[in-house]
Structure 1
Amino acid sequence: MTERVLTGITTTGTPHLGNYVGAIRPAIVASRAPGVESFFFLADYHALIKCDDPARIERSRLEIAATWLAAGLDTQRVTFYRQSDIPEITELTWLLTCVTAKGQMNRAHAYKAATDVNAAAGEDIDAGVTMGLFCYPILMAADILMFNAHRVPVGRDQVQHIEMARDVAQRFNHLFGAGRELFVLPQAEIEEAVATLPGLDGRKMSKSYDNTIPLFEGGERGLKEAVARIVTDSRLPGEPKDPDASHLVTIYDAFAADDAARQTFRDELRAGLAWGEAKQRLVALIEGEIGPMRARYAELMAHPERIEAALQEGARKARAIATPFLAELRHAVGLRPMVAVAAPAKAQAATAKAALPDFKQYREGGAFFFKLTSPQGAVLLQSTPIAEGREAGAWVKRLKTEGAAALEGAPVQWDASAERVQVEAALATLVAAQD
């Protein structure tokens, strides 16, 4: 069974070496595993909660997207998109908001932290708290549930939000599922083995500590200058060093090819390798991995239209899933097409059928065809010639029961005036009508 894994990337700031080792590299490696369908998105709506500087938001989205692509994210294999390009997510946020208890949001860590600070300062408990901050967990739940992700890799501080998403999904399923599980209940995946890279001073690498090593910024020179500032002890060249007490060695370990290389470096330090030489070796090791990525990053930053094209294609793939699913959710909560209900059963059925899109099958020139028309008679989808009538009928059945998922590989084309989203919405209506 294919599992869906979803990763959100907050678009504030510029990635550093710690971000690469702790999040970017392991996530890209995990996306290549067999049996995994990966979704990576730029959480730019989330960024608005923390940042009100439009220029910074714009620049950060570009830099972070370029970083992930330069680091090897395969957009042919994964779905890579901007949160703000998927309007279905914000609509789902409202549907979920309507079934989420305020008391549950009162207990969210981010909100409680803000109110605790205000209480300690003698301020009004909600001073400076926006509804964006307060409702942040609901938007995060919509991000996850929109694509029915099975697994969501997060840090321990985000586990509560995954539990909230599960609670909201269960409540929605109970209220509107009519016996069906509309939403998968996601699992938080805490990656204990993922490295937390130390910074220049030995504390966790963080911009708030001003101890980061740049990933791409400043080029190779910037990398050398940062590594040169790594704090070491005062032991001179020739004196034995303790590798287990050095955070320089921890950084080296994160980039070494294997355990043998790590052990060799430790042995040389114990034998008296100078710290200056050790830092030069560290720069060469990091540069060997990061240098080619930096060149790709510079190329992408010089051609932002390529990044935009990748994100638009990702949005198309994401919306191919989101649009029909949201149509199903709308139907579940009662936001349905209006049809007469007071007419006799036979007339009522005819009216309901007339209000639905319709498939028509026909034969022409020795070949078989089918087409999908809107309730108003407009052609939305047209098949190519099919040799056997049975095959044409089988495709119609699949499209009626599977919806947009059956479009991949189907012998179809659509009228230039009909957008794909219209076709997918029409198919979703037919799927929902059969339930």
Structure 2
Amino acid sequence: MPSIRVLTGITTSGTPHLGNYVGAIRPAIAASRTSGVESFYFLADYHALIKIDEPARIQRSTLEIAATWIAAGLDPERVTFYRQSDIPEIPELTWFLTCVCGKGLLNRAHAYKASVDKNNAANLDPDADVTAGLFMYPVLMAADILMFNAHRVPVGRDQIQHIEMARDMAASFNHRYGEHFVLPEADIEETVATLPGLDGRKMSKSYDNTIPLFAPREQLKKLIAGIKTDSRAPGEPKDTEGSALFQIYQAFATPDETVALRQAYADGIAWAEAKQVLFERIDHEIAPMRETYEALMRHPERLEDLLRAGAAKARAIATPFTAKLRHAVGLRDLRAQDGGKQAKAAKVALPSFKQYRESDGQFYFKFVDAQGRLLLQSAGYASPKDAGQAIRALQQDAGALAGLQLAPAEGASREDIAHALQLLRDAA
């Protein structure tokens, strides 16, 4: 079985455009083919309900996005590809996590704080138009991740907080009920490609400047013809720097093709000719996928079958795991009473690591015993991954304490730490 699980959530709002393809879809599909990785991709339709209250739009977007990912090369036989709302265990886990998540943690969520700040600036009630769905969004996202004990979650820097919150909820649950969850790590996408839109600004639905990924061929040609350029005439040298047309071409072309167009710019290629070159290059890559996409859109039952098969694969993991969690919290068959010692042992807390981020931007962890006494406080790390590696080193060998240059907390000894780490290993 693959050693690493990677989970990717796909929003189901709007029609995918070229920027989505270059920045997210294409690299994610390439990553799904990596050996030694078990990949999970889900359509986050529960999340879409937070922003969209048009049922037909939710349904249409789910259809378009599922068709897009399959047409772009996602192999449902190789990965687990499912619709979030087809996994009833997700809302149940959301409730379990809600019961161990402090309200203060949710108060600090960026999306909620941004809404409150906007209301305060407008002299409105701080929670005006803020739904409980928006407030609880981080808990649902944590349930998405923790249900499958994902080791890594690819996110941009603006999403790191959600992974940190998922880790916090997992650690809180583990502390109360025993070690059930892996603490996920953010797989930070430092080099996410962004494309300019028709007007030169970042391609975004918000700017109404997008080129739909699977626009019909003639529409694609017309949209590319409308890309903003300067007024230089044919024969005049043109700059590639700041040229939206060139930047889009570069995202689809080979290195040799890019060099050739750069030279054509220097030689004074006409804008109409450059746009034709761009159209032909994009259409060369997109046309085979467009054909598959259009076939899937004509036969939504094929996508429904794929998603249901993916849900069955996902539930083969989620159903027994949820049964284990239900037992851990005490939701048990009354006919199968545990002996007093077993019931008491099931509730015994274990030592635990708690990882968090401070206002200085650094990542820290602390190690506490079963009673919550601080045994070890780390120094700051540049990333959650670095902090996680230090934690794993300690979990594997208490002797790593010296190599990590960490000292016991006041009132604790190395023997206390070694004993607590051994308890964790014994319980694993």
TM-score range relative to shorter protein: 0.7 to 0.9
With over 3 angstroms needed to count, the CA separation of the structure-2 counterparts of 1:296 and 1:117, relative to structure 1, is: same
Give the match for residue 217 of structure 2. Answer: 220
String of CA shifts for 1:154-188, please: whole Å, max 9, x gaps.
122211111000011011111101xxx31111111
Identify which of 290, 295, 301 aligns with 1:305: 301
What is the CA distance between 1:194 and its match in structure 2?
Answer: 2.2
Unaligned runs of 5+ in 1: 350-433
What is the CA distance between 1:245 and its match in structure 2?
Answer: 2.6
The separation in 2 between residues aligned to 1:104 and 1:188, in whole angstroms, is: 18
Matching of residue 136 in structure 1 with residue 133 in structure 2: no
Give the match for residue 236 of structure 2. Answer: 239
What is the CA distance between 1:91 and its match in structure 2?
Answer: 0.2
* Amino acid paired to 1:324: P
The separation in 2 between residues aligned to 1:272 and 1:344, in whole angstroms, is: 85
With over 3 angstroms needed to count, the CA separation of the structure-2 counterparts of 1:342 and 1:29, relative to structure 1, is: closer
Identify which of 196, 208, 211 aligns with 2:206: 208
* Amino acid paired to 1:207: K
With over 3 angstroms needed to count, the CA separation of the structure-2 counterparts of 1:239 and 1:102, relative to structure 1, is: same
The separation in 1 between residues aligned to 2:138 and 2:36, in whole angstroms, is: 28
The separation in 1 between residues aligned to 2:300 and 2:268, in whole angstroms, is: 48
Identical positions, percent: 69
What is the CA distance between 1:342 and its match in structure 2?
Answer: 9.9
The separation in 1 between residues aligned to 2:120 and 2:269, in whole angstroms, is: 53
What is the CA distance between 1:284 and its match in structure 2?
Answer: 0.3
Shift >3 Å, 4+ stretches? 339-345
Does the 8 Å contact 1:214/1:222 carry over to 2?
A: no
Q: Which moved more, 1:239-248 or 1:83-92?
A: 239-248
String of CA shifts for 1:327-347, please: whole Å, max 9, x gaps.
1111111112224769999xx
With over 3 angstroms needed to count, the CA separation of the structure-2 counterparts of 1:343 and 1:318, relative to structure 1, is: closer
Give the match for residue 368 of structure 1. Answer: none
| TM-score (structure 1 length as normaliser) | 0.77
With over 3 angstroms needed to count, the CA separation of the structure-2 counterparts of 1:272 and 1:317, relative to structure 1, is: same
Map 1:341-380 onto structure 2 (within 5 A): none
With over 3 angstroms needed to count, the CA separation of the structure-2 counterparts of 1:129 and 1:342, relative to structure 1, is: closer
With over 3 angstroms needed to count, the CA separation of the structure-2 counterparts of 1:324 and 1:231, relative to structure 1, is: same
The separation in 2 between residues aligned to 1:344 and 1:136, in whole angstroms, is: 38
User: Which of 1 and 2 has greater Rg?
Assistant: 1
Q: Would you say how many aligned residue pairs link Structure 1 and Structure 2?
A: 343
What is the CA distance between 1:313 and its match in structure 2?
Answer: 0.2
String of CA shifts for 1:234-258, please: whole Å, max 9, x gaps.
111111111123121110010002x
The separation in 2 between residues aligned to 1:271 and 1:30, in whole angstroms, is: 38
* Amino acid paired to 1:337: D
The separation in 1 between residues aligned to 2:295 and 2:133, in whole angstroms, is: 35
With over 3 angstroms needed to count, the CA separation of the structure-2 counterparts of 1:343 and 1:169, relative to structure 1, is: closer
Unaligned runs of 5+ in 2: 343-426
| TM-score (structure 2 length as normaliser) | 0.78
The separation in 2 between residues aligned to 1:147 and 1:342, in whole angstroms, is: 27
Give the match for residue 29 of structure 2. Answer: 28
What is the CA distance between 1:58 and its match in structure 2?
Answer: 0.8
Identify which of 330, 344, 351 aligns with 1:334: 330
Map 1:83-162 onto structure 2 (within 5 A): 83-162=84-163
What is the CA distance between 1:116 and its match in structure 2?
Answer: 0.9
SS at match of 1:42: strand
With over 3 angstroms needed to count, the CA separation of the structure-2 counterparts of 1:192 and 1:119, relative to structure 1, is: same
The separation in 2 between residues aligned to 1:252 and 1:38, in whole angstroms, is: 30
Does the 8 Å contact 2:157/2:189 carry over to 1?
A: no
SS at match of 1:245: coil
The separation in 1 between residues aligned to 2:128 and 2:292, in whole angstroms, is: 44
What is the CA distance between 1:208 and its match in structure 2?
Answer: 0.8
